[in-house]
Structure 1
Amino acid sequence: MHPVKIAIASVLKPLKDPRSYYKFALSLRETNKYQINIIGFYSKKETDEELIKFHPLFYKKRNSFARLNVSIRLLKLLRKIRPKSLIVTTYELLPAALLGKCIFRYKLVYDIQENYALNFRLNNSKHILTKQLGSLLIKFIEFSSRPFTDHFIFAEKCYVTEFPKIKNHTVLENKYQGPKINSSRPFKLGPSKLNFLLCGTLAEIYGSMDALLWFDHFHRHFPDSTLKILGHAPLESFRTKLLQHVQNKPYLEFTISSDPISYEEILEAYQSADMVLLPYRQTKNISPKIPSKLYECLALKKAFLFSPNAKWQSLAEKYNAGIAVDFKSNKNYDLIAKSIFSKVFYDNSSVSEAHWLQEKQSFLQVIEHLFTKDQKLY
């Protein structure tokens, strides 16, 4: 019996994206029932693996005119792959995915990783009219495709209330999928040679510059401390701003890239970090969510500093894992340091709820149900 072909498509996510590859693809491969085809951003050549094939879709700068051709490129790839199911991770590919569904007759799943319309409306870098029109266009695309989408996946619990009209959904949060940490020992941190980490996507709204400015002041109080910056800054103007700020500061080690950073590099950076910075600004499109980095910190037993947020505070307190910090304030460094150095981190039981294992079975059931509820596959 041949494995069922499934495709997972994005535009700007790397081929080995933490969600598409590490969570979805590897979970599917474990069943030996599926051949997974990952379609995404080409940052480097990826070698095909057992039951997993990689198909580059886009490799230019995010604002390149070549991005207009991704829908045509997707349809060409779908004609080649002939999947029985397509998981789309961005609204941008929905029109082509719907056309492909009519032609190739596959099951369509929309993995909603962001509230894209809300994000666009809150984007400070765009003109107010552009924001309104862009947000309306995204809503129109998502609304028009809804009747033809077989199932929806929500990456955040808050999307249940943000998309109340969508009933055929499953919540699969961005929990940690990677090497397990066996150590369950509680630990304390001392003021000597404290290594901080800022990683992932670097953006104004994620508080990346707030974190750098905050750490500059912290370092004056604790000159042995260091900060490693390992991230993808997609907006060129902000990337330039970050690079200018970090120059000639030996206590900062930085890799600030125009391309996504591989998940392997991110996980490796966690190993040498004592404390991770989660400086997200508390906007309407961020505060209701649980950052994937927070789950990573919990699963890897890493201490973290986070912007004040009731949901995040609840998780941090449950496992004695983190401390709330106002990254836009240049005060109270002595109190913050006292909290860091007096706290016993992770003195509770294992953090099983932070692991993808809890979500994996639900995901596999979603995919299985797509094919069992209609044995003919159209």
Structure 2
Amino acid sequence: MHQIPIVIASVLKPLKDPRAYYRFAFSLRETNKYNINIIGFSLKKEPEEENIKFHSIFSKNRNDFSRALAGARFFKRLFQIKPKLVIVTTFELLPAAILAKWMLGFALVYDLQENHVLNLSQNKTMSGLKKDLSQAFVSLVESCSNPFIDHYFFAEKVYLKEFPKIKSPTLLPNKYYGPVQDIKPVSFASGKNLRFLLSGTLTEVYGILEGIEWFKSVLAYYPQATLAVIGHVPMQGYYQKLCEATADQRSIQFEGSENPIPYSAILKAYAETDIVLLPYHQIPSISPKIPSKMYESIALGKPCLYQANTEWEDICSVYPAGKAIDFRDLTHSQRHLNDFLKATYFDLEPGDEVLWKSDEAKFLEVVARLTEKV
């Protein structure tokens, strides 16, 4: 049986990124109709898997000058693969994708995972003229690319409001990719030996330092508690701040990396924790979105403490799966934690609503429709 070649491409996302690999590629492979090629970041050569090949086009620090050549490497790979469908997950690959589409005739999907322009304005990674120019450049690339894009995937419901000119996108939230877990009610009878977790991308606006300082403030009352901080730290300056905040802290295990880390390591950290911390800053680029870590926490039966947010509270209160607090209020951190520990979580077992499988059929229908046209 001839398999249809498909490309899923990024620059900074690891080859085994949760969305590209675990959600998209695994779903496509189950149909046995497609030959999947994942293009992205990797420090090492990934071995091929059944119907899945991996192609690295970038392996340096995010600010390395060689990143400017990623588009050219991507363009070359497209001509080698000759795909029928290309799913691009970052704006910087759109120009190369559009040029290759004109020459090869494939269908093009833009998987909009971030509002890049809003992120640049809010996320404190740039300032001054550099930030203004970057916002203008991203906006120009995305707007000029729009006529050549056959379909859009939206990772967040709020993008329906933030990108009103994009018609008929498919909403595919970052829900947990795995199977339904057998989740039992969770209670913390003694409150001893509590294991907390901060994981994923570790940046300033994700409130990682606030989460660390909050944990330190409750150590006086729960001296046997531990905190694991594990993830990708894209900004070198912030990495140093995290090192300083966790130095000489026997109760804190810091495993930060300047490069993306395997998702399997994140899942292992979940398995070894009791409580997940979600201390995100409530800014316009974050507060309307649903963190993938919230879906993961619920699907894996791990209660979470999250920065107060009405929409997040609506999601978590159903089971219940966690409690809202203010991580910046260190004066009352003991009382907030005590209140959290008194409750029972997951009286109602989560179902498919927090799993990728609930949206998988929509994704496969779009892919089938687009590949039939070319």
Cα distance in 2 between the residues matched to 1:157 and 1:93: 23
Residue pair 1:206, 1:279 contacting (<8 A) in 2 also: yes
Partner of 2:146: 146
Partner of 1:186: 185
Describe the SS at the equivalent of 1:30.
helix
Change (3 A) 1:334 1:246: closer
Superposed displacement of residue 144, structure 1:
0.5
TM-score normalised by length of structure 2: 0.98
Alignment of 1:1-378 (within 5 A): 1-183=1-183, 185-189=184-188, 190-372=190-372, 374=373, 377=374
Cα distance in 1 between the residues matched to 2:260 and 2:151: 28
- Structure 2: stretches of 5+ with no match in the other structure: none
Runs of 4+ in structure 1 deviating by more than 4 angstroms, as ranges, are none
Residue pair 2:112, 2:154 contacting (<8 A) in 1 also: yes
Residue pair 2:298, 2:350 contacting (<8 A) in 1 also: no
Superposed displacement of residue 351, structure 1:
3.1
Cα distance in 2 between the residues matched to 1:121 and 1:272: 36
Deviations 1:108-129 (A, max 9, x none): 0000000001111223242232
Cα distance in 2 between the residues matched to 1:67 and 1:121: 22
Cα distance in 2 between the residues matched to 1:317 and 1:335: 20
Describe the SS at the equivalent of 2:67.
helix
2:137 counterpart letter in structure 1: L
Describe the SS at the equivalent of 1:131.
helix
Judge which range, 281-290 or 170-179, deviates more: 170-179
Cα distance in 2 between the residues matched to 1:349 and 1:204: 33
Describe the SS at the equivalent of 2:131.
helix
Superposed displacement of residue 179, structure 1:
4.9
Residue pair 1:14, 1:43 contacting (<8 A) in 2 also: no
Cα distance in 1 between the residues matched to 2:192 and 2:311: 31
Residue pair 2:186, 2:344 contacting (<8 A) in 1 also: yes
Cα distance in 2 between the residues matched to 1:125 and 1:359: 33
Cα distance in 1 between the residues matched to 2:127 and 2:321: 40
Describe the SS at the equivalent of 1:221.
coil
Describe the SS at the equivalent of 2:75.
helix
Residue pair 2:3, 2:35 contacting (<8 A) in 1 also: yes
1:279 counterpart letter in structure 2: P
1:83 counterpart letter in structure 2: P
Change (3 A) 1:35 1:125: closer
TM-score normalised by length of structure 1: 0.97
Superposed displacement of residue 219, structure 1:
1.0
Residue pair 2:298, 2:354 contacting (<8 A) in 1 also: yes
Alignment RMSD: 1.1
Describe the SS at the equivalent of 1:210.
helix
Cα distance in 1 between the residues matched to 2:161 and 2:204: 26
Describe the SS at the equivalent of 1:313.
helix
Residue pair 1:123, 1:131 contacting (<8 A) in 2 also: no
Describe the SS at the equivalent of 1:302.
coil
Describe the SS at the equivalent of 1:205.
helix
1:349 counterpart letter in structure 2: E
- Structure 1: stretches of 5+ with no match in the other structure: none
Deviations 1:126-159 (A, max 9, x none): 2232222211211111010101100000000000
Cα distance in 1 between the residues matched to 2:126 and 2:260: 23
